[in-house]
């Protein structure tokens, strides 16, 4: 439906590419088996190779998004057309957000992951983050 070279899908931002992730997230993803590749090339920032140009796996992209905002992804619950993510925003303070695709959205697996990511950061999280900021 959409070229994965475009930065958006149905108006939502796609997942960032692996080369754009922080070194710590890349190492975490390698340790967790989400991506496989030469660590030095990735962490060293050589973004030219094919792997570095791929989009981040969904869980990795979500972890990176939270990390950049000082939040920690604690649990990730994947589902075929949805996911839930529990993150920590204080010593003993947690929140679970959900991104769910509507029925009848015929997207490929990669596009679905992009849509779920974009829906989380553009629609779901903006409803939650102000409440967290007020609470903490």
Partner 1 sequence: MSLDETIERLEKFVAEVRQASLVDEMTGLGSIIALSQEGRLISEAVSEFDVVVFGDLNDFKHLNDDHTHAAGDVALKTVGELMLRIFVGTFQGNAFRQSGDEFVILLKQDSVAGFLSSVPSFARIPFSYNNEGLETGMTFGYARSDGKTGFDDLLERADVACQFAKADGNAASEWTEHMKLNPLVRIGGRCRKCGAKISCNIPKSDAPRELKFCPCCGESL
The tally of CA atoms less than 13 A away on the side-chain side of residue 113 is: 16
The SS3 call for residue 53 is helix
Asked if 10 touches partner 1 (CB under 8 A), the answer is no
> Which position among 86, 107, 110, 129 is part of the footprint of partner 1 (CB under 8 A)?
86
The nearest distance, CB 75 to partner 1, in angstroms, is 5
Which 35-64 positions form the footprint of partner 1 (CB under 8 A)? none
Q: At what angle do helices 58-68 and 23-31 cross, to 10 degrees?
A: 140
Tell me whether residue 45 or residue 90 sits nearer to partner 1 (CB atom): 90
Binding site for partner 1 (CB under 8 A): 74-75, 77, 84, 86, 90, 92-96, 131-132, 135
């Amino acid at each position: 439906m959409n070229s994965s070279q475009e930065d958006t899908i149905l108006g939502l931002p796609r997942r960032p590419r692996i080369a754009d992730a922080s070194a710590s997230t890349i190492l975490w993803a390698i340790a967790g088996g989400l991506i496989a590749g030469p660590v030095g090339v990735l962490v060293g920032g050589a973004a030219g190779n094919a792997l570095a140009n791929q989009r981040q796996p969904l869980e990795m992209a979500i972890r990176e998004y939270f990390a950049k905002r000082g939040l920690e992804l604690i649990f990730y619950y994947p589902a075929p057309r949805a996911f839930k993510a529990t993150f920590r925003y204080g010593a003993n303070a947690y929140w679970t957000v959900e991104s769910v695709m509507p029925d009848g959205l015929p997207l490929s697996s990669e596009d679905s992951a992009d849509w779920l990511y974009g829906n989380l950061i553009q629609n779901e999280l903006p409803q939650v983050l102000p409440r967290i900021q007020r609470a903490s």
